[in-house]
Structure 1
Amino acid sequence: MGGNSFNGNIPAELGVLSSSQIDLNLSYNNLSGPIPSELGNIVLLENLVLNNNHLSGQIPGSFANLSSLLGCNFSYNDFAGPIPSLPLLDNMAFSSFIENNGLCSGPLGGCNPTPSFSFQPDAEDKGTRLGKIVAIVAAAIGGVSLVLIVVTIYFMRQPVKMAAPLQEKPTTSRVLDIYFSPKEGFTFQDLLEATDNFDESFIVGRGACGTVYKAVLPSGHVIAVKKLASNREGNNNVDNSFRAEILTLGNIRHRNIVKLYGFCYHQCSNLLLYEYMSRGSLGELLHGASCNIDWRTRFLIALGAAHGLAYLHHYCKPRIFHRDIKSNNILLDEKFEAHVGDFGLAKVIDMPQSRSMSAIAGSYGYIAPEYAYTMKVTEKCDIYSYGVVLLELLTGRTPVQPLDQGGDLVTWVRNYVRNHFLSPGILDAGLNQQDETTVSHMITVLKIALICTSMSPSERLTMPEVVSMLIESNRRECHFDTSPSHDTN
């Protein structure tokens, strides 16, 4: 519901949607009036987005019931009064409350008491007060000046180091500005002990930008640690990737996007700390030595990944284009629920038009054909890559195929359909094809994949359309349980 022209008050009836869980987005509208206290009844809600409206009044105390809330945004409204003293609001970012001239307390700081006008201070009191202010200001200026002098003398005495090129220094500085500390409170030493100083026996995955380790912390909490080399080792792309992942994932909370707990920067190592995905990546599971994933599980993985991408493309402010969607970047938890991960190539798009890039980014077999010659990033590039993942789930084949068969999976599928039409022979032999209803559902999803991988970007679906079509195909044919609590074991 965000980004429309809705006006008037927020309907109190929204509070009846007590089973809503992922997101309630009413941002960028013309809504006014107070927040109805009934919204506190949506106890499963994880994200509440109300920014950029004309809402007024106080933030309701009934929000104490929103125990599942992970994020909220009340900025750019006309709210007033103190922010309710609730742990879930106290821990929200300062930016969630900005541009509300009447708000105070919580992350914004304490409310100043209303000044008393029952008497007028005499001239002597005014003079005394002015003298104190002048003394304090003078002392502060003197202290700052002294510190600056000491720091300047210190650096003038240090030898000049030429190890790193000068142009790399601003990049490192910007990265430091966006670091944020892990919420779990563990230390770098804990990570060293949990991975035996990053021994190879703890490696659970390798990527273009780093190596992933499994770490069991002293608290028993299991996390994934992605270790990237730094600029000091001569790899500029590493720090760029590190900065991209922090900027992107640090502001995202969605059940189908991998969670970034925090970071560590130690000597020559950049470390990203993620939630651990016990099933690994879809690519490893799908193309491993033995794959026994049934169609129900594959379909729910496809639907979960589609939900995550739809959030990035349409419900984030600003929008995010992933640029490297592939089966190896779709991670699975113990219930086989999909989580889109690895944002090292992501681009934050804060303008409606597409952006041109200086180099091709992505993986072989997944890159949209128009990207190779236009160098423009659009959501349609991600949709093409997602369509390739759908074809992998349906055919069991890898995205790169022998040259005599077309060279890539999309070409192979189109050649097969041209010669054999939409016959079940195109489907993975490991899938149960005895049930005609299931086969019909797989062919329907294949049609969706073909639209997503259309050569013309304008003919491809949007990700919300993909989600709707997948849900509708399931409703008509297979009736799989697509609720967030589904168990695919």
Structure 2
Amino acid sequence: MDDKKANITAVIIIIGLIIFIIVARLSLKLSKAFFLIVGADIAVILAVFVCLVIRGRYNHRRKLLEKKLVSEGRELRIEYSFLRKVAGVPIKFRLKELEDATDNFQALLGQGASASVFKGILSDGTAVAVKRINGEEHGEKEFRSEVAAIASVQHVNLVRLLGYCCLPRGPRFLVYEFIPNGSLDHWIFPGKGTKNRPEGCLSWDLRYRVAIDVAKALSYLHHDCRSRILHLDLKPENILLDENYRAIVADFGLSKLMGKDESRVITTIRGTKGYLAPEWLLEHGVSEKCDIYSYGMVLLEMIGGQRNVTLIENGSDKSQRKWQYFPKIARDKLGEGKVIAVVDHRLVEVGAIDERQVKRVVHVALWCIQERAKLRPTMAQVVEMLEGRVPVEEPPDPQMIMVDFLSIDEEESDCHFRPKIAAMGSNVNSCNIPCSSSSSFAMSMLSGR
């Protein structure tokens, strides 16, 4: 019985007893029976009052306790939510929340082969980047790889996973913190500006700091996690810059987890082939050395402000075009003592470039892209070399078999280099195919551009 009904019942009882006393007084006068009735009625009225008081105090305490429990429950939920954020535990979003946050997925930030990224604002005002992964089997693998790799790690130079949304039949969503300055490629390559991302030119000091930031992130993944994490898709497009132009490594869709006692993992060849290590192309398995090779290629692109493999055309005559391999140019200029010649010309025009620092970075990059994986340093050693804590020795000349592939169009027309290319794939096995096709095949295998 609630308080209102209890009070009404008590009032009715008291009024009834008072009426009964009046009737008894009129009918029994001041007889002994009347006084007995009055005494009994007064006792009942007092009992009703006592019950009301006890009930009132009980209800008051109950309400205070309920309010306290509600308050404590709210505080616990707030504390739990806070601890989840601090611990980096991703939360599960509803599809409706993501649709509202992204204005029904209107603000497209970028798009890849199997995923699209949209900008959004959550209900609490947090800016996020929502990655929508399409496809059934491939989408499921990418979703699981990305969550397994990034959900439990915390590093200042790794993108933070805020939550996810997984539908029974449909796309999967990953919700990341929003990084305002976009990807590194827009800041080092000329002509990469878009409507949403104006073209910029990162200064040498910032590029050097970005190189150290990325090296620290990879060193953490390789050495400081419970299981070694291989990124396997490191490239400028997957390195983001925050509001202070610090590097944030993102996109773990192709990543692999390795046990501490494992040296290699066998996996299919995927990713951007211009950054793939030779041992992966030869299907010898992958290790953390594959990330180091990719890092070296990215480092060279940051130095020169150009892709490592570019096509140089001379007017409209296709026979005059030739391929340019930037790592070879960097190695040659380093040997000639003209290391500044490989630096992005936009930075050279501005000036204030430390030649010794450039030489150190080129040395580190050439160490990282050695064809023999055993010769490559660890990412922890790369960090020490870039920070100047250990001397950087002269690297051995890498074989750079890419130069052989790129020179086919220029000098050979009798399939002289055919055996090398045929080793890379079964489609190139006939001298009836022009050598320009061979070069194109080699480029598609090694650069993916």
Query: What TM-score, normalized by structure 1, do the two folds share?
Result: 0.56
How far apart, CA to CA, are the structure 1 residues paired with 2:265 and 2:258?
A: 11
Opposite residue 211 of structure 1, the aligned amino acid is S
Q: How far off is 1:405 after superposition? A: 5.9
Opposite residue 178 of structure 2, the aligned amino acid is Y
- Aligned ranges 1:76-115 → 2 under 5 Å: 91=83
How far apart, CA to CA, are the structure 2 residues paired with 1:434 and 1:205?
A: 31
Any conservation in 2 of the 1:360–1:375 contact (CA below 8 Å)? no
How far apart, CA to CA, are the structure 2 residues paired with 1:190 and 1:414?
A: 52
Any conservation in 2 of the 1:332–1:338 contact (CA below 8 Å)? yes
Q: Which residue, out of 124, 132, 156, partners 1:227? A: 132
Q: How far off is 1:400 after superposition? A: 2.9
For residues 413-457 of structure 1, give each alpha carbon's deviation from its aligned partner in whole angstroms, at most 9, with x where no partner exists. Answer: 335546x44431111101146757612211221111111112221
- Aligned ranges 1:462-477 → 2 under 5 Å: 462-472=378-388
Alignment pair present for 1:459 and 2:360: no
Opposite residue 225 of structure 1, the aligned amino acid is V
How far apart, CA to CA, are the structure 1 residues paired with 2:359 and 2:306?
A: 16
For residues 9-67 of structure 1, give each alpha carbon's deviation from its aligned partner in whole angstroms, at most 9, with x where no partner exists. Answer: xxxxxxxxxxxxxxxxxxxxxxxxxxxxxxxxxxxxxxxxxxxxxxxxxxxxxxxxxxx
Alignment pair present for 1:429 and 2:345: yes
Alignment pair present for 1:217 and 2:119: no
Opposite residue 457 of structure 1, the aligned amino acid is A
Any conservation in 1 of the 2:182–2:241 contact (CA below 8 Å)? yes
What is aligned with 1:355?
A: 264
Secondary structure at the residue paired with 2:388? helix
What is aligned with 1:158?
A: none
Cα 1:436/1:295, change in 2 over 3 Å: closer
Opposite residue 162 of structure 2, the aligned amino acid is Y
Alignment pair present for 1:301 and 2:210: yes
Higher helix share: 2
Any conservation in 2 of the 1:250–1:260 contact (CA below 8 Å)? yes
Any conservation in 1 of the 2:90–2:161 contact (CA below 8 Å)? no
Alignment pair present for 1:257 and 2:164: no
Opposite residue 452 of structure 1, the aligned amino acid is C
Cα 1:436/1:250, change in 2 over 3 Å: closer
What is aligned with 2:244?
A: 335
The CA RMSD measured in Å over matched residues stands at: 3.0
For residues 60-79 of structure 1, give each alpha carbon's deviation from its aligned partner in whole angstroms, at most 9, with x where no partner exists. Answer: xxxxxxxxxxxxxxxxxxxx
Opposite residue 185 of structure 2, the aligned amino acid is G
Secondary structure at the residue paired with 1:467? helix
Any conservation in 1 of the 2:265–2:287 contact (CA below 8 Å)? no
How far apart, CA to CA, are the structure 1 residues paired with 2:84 and 2:218?
A: 24
Cα 1:190/1:475, change in 2 over 3 Å: farther
Opposite residue 299 of structure 2, the aligned amino acid is L
Cα 1:442/1:375, change in 2 over 3 Å: same
What is aligned with 1:373?
A: 282
Cα 1:191/1:412, change in 2 over 3 Å: same
Any conservation in 2 of the 1:388–1:409 contact (CA below 8 Å)? no
Q: Which runs of 5+ in 1 are unaligned?
A: 1-85, 97-179, 477-489
Q: How far off is 1:204 after superposition? A: 0.6
Q: How far off is 1:399 after superposition? A: 3.2
Q: How far off is 1:216 after superposition? A: 1.3
What is aligned with 2:185?
A: 283
Higher relative contact order by CA 8 Å / sep ≥ 6: 1 or 2? 2
Any conservation in 2 of the 1:444–1:473 contact (CA below 8 Å)? no
Cα 1:458/1:309, change in 2 over 3 Å: same
What is aligned with 1:188?
A: 95
What is aligned with 1:401?
A: 310
How far apart, CA to CA, are the structure 2 residues paired with 1:221 and 1:474?
A: 42
What is aligned with 1:204?
A: 109
How far apart, CA to CA, are the structure 1 residues paired with 2:156 and 2:211?
A: 14
Alignment pair present for 1:321 and 2:230: yes
- Aligned ranges 1:67-78 → 2 under 5 Å: none
Opposite residue 357 of structure 1, the aligned amino acid is I
Opposite residue 192 of structure 1, the aligned amino acid is E
Q: How far off is 1:406 after superposition? A: 5.4
How far apart, CA to CA, are the structure 1 residues paired with 2:268 and 2:165?
A: 29
- Aligned ranges 1:148-159 → 2 under 5 Å: none
How far apart, CA to CA, are the structure 2 residues paired with 1:445 and 1:291?
A: 22
Secondary structure at the residue paired with 2:109? strand
For residues 376-416 of structure 1, give each alpha carbon's deviation from its aligned partner in whole angstroms, at most 9, with x where no partner exists. Answer: 11111100100111111110011332387656443443355
For residues 215-270 of structure 1, give each alpha carbon's deviation from its aligned partner in whole angstroms, at most 9, with x where no partner exists. Answer: 01222110000001141xxxx21110001001111111111110001101235120
Opposite residue 359 of structure 2, the aligned amino acid is I
Opposite residue 461 of structure 1, the aligned amino acid is P
How far apart, CA to CA, are the structure 2 residues paired with 1:197 and 1:205?
A: 16
Alignment pair present for 1:444 and 2:360: yes
Q: How far off is 1:283 after superposition? A: 1.4
Q: Which runs of 5+ in 2 are unaligned?
A: 1-77, 194-198, 313-320, 393-449
Cα 1:398/1:213, change in 2 over 3 Å: same
Any conservation in 1 of the 2:300–2:365 contact (CA below 8 Å)? yes
Q: Which residue, out of 146, 149, 164, partners 1:245? A: 146
